[in-house]
Amino acid sequence: MNLEIDFCLNGSEIRLSIKPWETALDVLRNQSGLTGVKEGCGIGECGACTIIIDGKAVNSCLILAAQLDGRKVETVEGLEVDGKMHFIQQAFLDKGAVQCGFCTPGMLMSAKALLDKVENPSTDKIVEAMTGNLCRCAGYVQILEAVREATCMKAPLNKDDVTNS
Ligand code: FES
Ligand code: FES
């Protein structure tokens, strides 16, 4: 038996036909071709599969695909717009926070969920938001620096918004 689900994926409405037992991770990778959503542990421990659902970072390996119905879903593939990297991606590059890159999509999505919600997070808040994402290359210092840098990159934009309004 298949279920039909409709949801907003990286800014576009889509409909998928899924099995009731399939995870969001499986469906996003295998049906939507979004292989930026990585499978590490498959049991909610590594954060490699992190996506954003309705503004919240979640492990897609722990979510049934059926739970995506009617939701707003963001994956790493939605960060780049018109060939231009998202400022969080730029910060990761600038700070050398990418080694093998396997953890990077999940890290980026956890950072985005935080910065979408909190304009200027404290270091403690950044650490807390990134805690569920493991990096087997152990590049944590650079990763935390990149999120801090992304916070600064975002700040001038906000100031301009205020000035121009
Ligand atoms: S693959 Fe989902 S948390 Fe590791
Ligand atoms: S950069 Fe290799 S796992 Fe994080």
Instruction: Tell me the Cα Rg of the chain.
Output: 16
pLDDT digits (tens, 9 = 90+) for 31-52: 999 999 999 999 999 999 999 9
How much distance in Å is there from the Cα of 104 to the middle of ligand 2? Answer: 7
Q: What percent of the chain has pLDDT over 90?
A: 90
Q: Which domain holds residue 110?
A: 87-164
Task: Render 6-25 in DSSP notation, one character per residue.
Answer: EEEETTEEEEEEE-TT-BHH
Q: Closest ligand to 62 CA?
A: 1
Of all ligands present, the nearest one to the C-alpha of 43 is 1
Could you tell me if 92 and 65 lie in one domain?
A: no
Q: Specify the pLDDT at position 161.
A: 46
Overall pTM > 0.85: yes
How many Å lie between the centroid of ligand 1 and the Cα of residue 59?
6
Q: What is the pLDDT of residue 4?
A: 98
CA 54 – CA 107 distance, rounded (Å): 17
| Predicted confidence (pLDDT) at residue 89 exceeds the cutoff of 50 | yes
Say yes or no: 100 and 121 in one domain. yes
pLDDT at 159 over 60: no
Query: What tens digit of pLDDT does each residue of 2-19 get?
Result: 999 999 999 999 999 999
Cα→Cα distances 22→30, 76, 140, 147, Å: 11, 20, 32, 32
Q: Cβ(140) to ligand 2 under 6 A?
A: no
For residue 138, the model assigns a pLDDT of: 86
Nearest-CA neighbor of 95 among 106, 103, 87, 83? 87
Ligand 2 atom with the smallest distance to the CA of 101 is 1
Residues 93-112 have pLDDT tens digits of: 999 999 999 999 999 999 99
What per-residue confidence (pLDDT) applies to 156? 57
- Cα 86 to middle of ligand 1, angstroms: 23
CB 149 within 8 A of CB 111: no
pLDDT at 154: 81
Domain end position, chosen among 45, 78, 111: 78
92 is written with which tokens? 């990761």
Phi, psi angle pair for 83, to nearest 5°: 75, 5
Q: Is 53 in the pocket of ligand 1 (CB under 6 A)?
A: no
Statement: residue 163 has pLDDT above 80: no
124 and 57 within one domain: no
- Number of domains comprising the chain: 2
Last residue of a domain, one of 17, 50, 78: 78
Q: Is residue 71's pLDDT more than 50?
A: yes
> 146: pLDDT confidence band, cut at 50, 70 and 90?
very high
For every residue of 55-107, DSSP letters joined together read: TEEEEGGGSBGGGGTT-EEE-GGGT-BTTB--HHHHHHHHTT--SS-SSHHHH
CATH number at residue 66: 3.10.20.30
Distance 136 CA to ligand 2 centre (A): 5
Residue whose CB lies within 8 A of the most ligand 2 atoms, among 45, 76, 100, for a mutation test: 100
Q: Is 99 exposed, middle or buried (0-12, 13-18, 19+ CB in 10 A)?
A: middle
